[in-house]
Structure 1
Amino acid sequence: MRTRALASEFIGTLLLVFFAVGSAVLGAEFIGTLGIALAFGFTLLALAYTLGPVSGCHVNPAVTLGMLCARRIDVRTAVEYWIAQFLGGIAGAALLFLMSEQVPGFKADGAFGSNGFGDRSAVHINTGGAFLAEVVLTFLLVFVVLGVTHRVAVTGFDGLPIGLALAAIHIVGIPLTGTSVNPARSLGPALFAGGAALSQLWLFIVAPLVGGAIAAVVHQVTHPTGEDRNIADEAAAV
């Protein structure tokens, strides 16, 4: 069961990067910001229903950290999920890069769907603003995930508000930083973009994790422990 869960996190993160980031890399001029936002939201929504019953469909280290802080999973499970997610993000970006190279005239140009601030931001947001934006945007995503699930797995209609939240987050965040809210989603494209994308990568790893941790703390206030079962033992058995 644990192997299935890790495979699901790897595959889910791979598909999220390939399809959602792919919409920004290859389709931005055709679908615009709204189209990219919907691509992220719809992809996560589909994955939630497909992989939710297997691994919980975190496909995001910040979500996994939120689950860990909320004591729904143990440290071992979190670390294994993180490894699977980062490897999945890299694999998804590699597959996207391979496909993009087959498009005549395509050039990554140091962007390749990566995140950025300063002159790599559409609105030239500074470092502090980008950090705050990523913290707040990730907070919303993880808070929604924790609030609608109340357990490790995504079940029933849980995937709908999560997908809608991610789409809304991208509508706001794309002009600011390109929207990360997911360290694994940021790492893969940055490795292939290189240059400034790699030098700025630290922010898109640290800020989403901070946002995820804060979301878990606030969730404990709005949803007291007595109402939110600690099922770390269940997660450890996955």
Structure 2
Amino acid sequence: MRTRRTPLLAATGVALAGLALTACGSGSGTKDEGAAPVSSSKAASSSVSSAQPASDSGTARSTGATGTANGSGSASGKGSGSGSGSKPASGTSGSAKATGSAADPGPTNILCNGSNTTVTAQPMSRPLNHMLITVKNTGRKTCMLPYHPVLRFDEMQWVPQADEATHPQAVTTLRPGESGYAGVLLSAADGSGSGGMTAHKLTVGFQGRTPNSDGGPAATPSLPAKGVYYDSTLKVTYWQQSIDDVLSW
């Protein structure tokens, strides 16, 4: 019995070994079962690995771009706000000061007189026996001409009166470069005046803030070489803003 089993077992072992070798030689069984899972796993791992850095990189770039944009926007906003806030204020303030100083509008308490004006006296053909006094502001500030001029021909000892009908509604004020006017009736056209004489010198006085007060230095405008004739009817107008008010007097 022992002798019969040995050949059978040997034959069986040889057969099994041959089958194993045949299987290994073809490689189909081993590769089909083991290689596919390993390949799929590696592909999946590779896909995840390659996707992850791409996602991280994209996130970093996106975050960096957002941060840059925010930083740039913030800086731009601050810069723009600061510039917009300071420049107009400075420009407006500078423009306002320059304009106010140059034009010098608004009220004033500076008096017009011989120190900040030029004064001329010119006889007029119409109205007859009249003379025009012009005062031009040559200063840098607006000045005012209260009441009426105080006239003195040569060494006369009396003061011509003003025509109350010419009293303006507001005090005449002159901005730099502007002129004010007053009219003078030298003598009666019908010859009704008395004490007539020819004067060669004229002094124009200015009044202060109250009637007959001193308004500052007087002016001495030149008269025609032949002089001007005046008599007892001599009178003047109040200072006027418009020359038309004088010419129509």
Q: TM-score, normalised by structure 2?
A: 0.22
Question: Which has more radius of gyration?
Answer: 2
Structure with the higher helix share, 1 or 2: 1
Q: TM-score, normalised by structure 1?
A: 0.23
Structure with the higher strand share, 1 or 2: 2
